Amino acid sequence: MTDNTPAPLAWPEQIFDIFKRGGVRQVAYVPDAGHAQVIRRVHADPDMHAIVLTTEEEGVATCCGAWLGGERSVLLMQSSGVGNCINMMSLIQNCRFPFLTLITMRGEFAEFNPWQVPMSRATQPVLEAMGLTVMRVARHEDVADVVQAGLDAAFESGEPIAVLLSQRLIGRKKWVAKP
């Protein structure tokens, strides 16, 4: 007997599908290996606009501007970039913009780079201090539910939301010297 049940999508595909179904039209990002598959899908989709940033705080302003222009947007970044956004996050609070960011975590599970650890420890408390609700995902099977809940809270309830994708979820990073 053959099982015709389709295999579950990999978690980056689930994230992209949630963005599509949720009407996200703009995705701002600083290049990051943890978000690479989602970024590639956004670039390939003619209905979505990928915006490469030089620094993460530009993404906060970009998302706020997209909302003013009538579009939903999401900011993708790594935990090391959260510190760059703190002052700009006051824009979200003062203007009461809906906001969704997905943050790949570094400095946690089996981190090889000690420079990633301090911001990793500060990421959640700093985001909460700036008024964002923080949701965390550590298991593949929870990605779709948490990201969908974050998108709904942001764009249906007008809440600022940060979804943290744990380092255990995204996998260990290894430094590879190039010959």
Residue 102 located in a structural domain:
yes
Per-residue pLDDT band at 117 (split at 50, 70, 90): confident
Ramachandran assignment for 18, one of left (phi > 0), alpha (psi -120 to 50 degrees), beta (any other): alpha
Q: Which tens digits make up the pLDDT trace of 56-97?
A: 999 999 999 999 999 999 999 999 999 999 999 999 999 999
Would you say 39 and 19 are in contact if contact means Cβ atoms under 8 Å apart? no
In terms of residue numbers, what domain contains 137? 11-170
Q: Which tens digits make up the pLDDT trace of 39-59?
A: 999 999 999 999 999 999 999
Residue 175 located in a structural domain:
no
Residue 154 located in a structural domain:
yes
Residue 59 located in a structural domain:
yes
Choose among 103, 105, 102: nearest CA to 154: 102
- Helices marked H in the chain — which ranges? 11-21, 36-44, 56-68, 89-95, 117-129, 143-155, 167-170
Number of domains in the chain: 1
Residue 122 located in a structural domain:
yes
pTM score: 0.91
Upper half-sphere CA count for residue 16 (Cβ side, 13 Å): 20
Residue 146: CATH number of its domain: 3.40.50.970
pLDDT at 108 over 80: yes
Instruction: Count other C-beta atoms under 10 Å from residue 165's C-beta.
Output: 25
Would you say 104 and 170 are in contact if contact means Cβ atoms under 8 Å apart? yes
Residue 5 located in a structural domain:
no
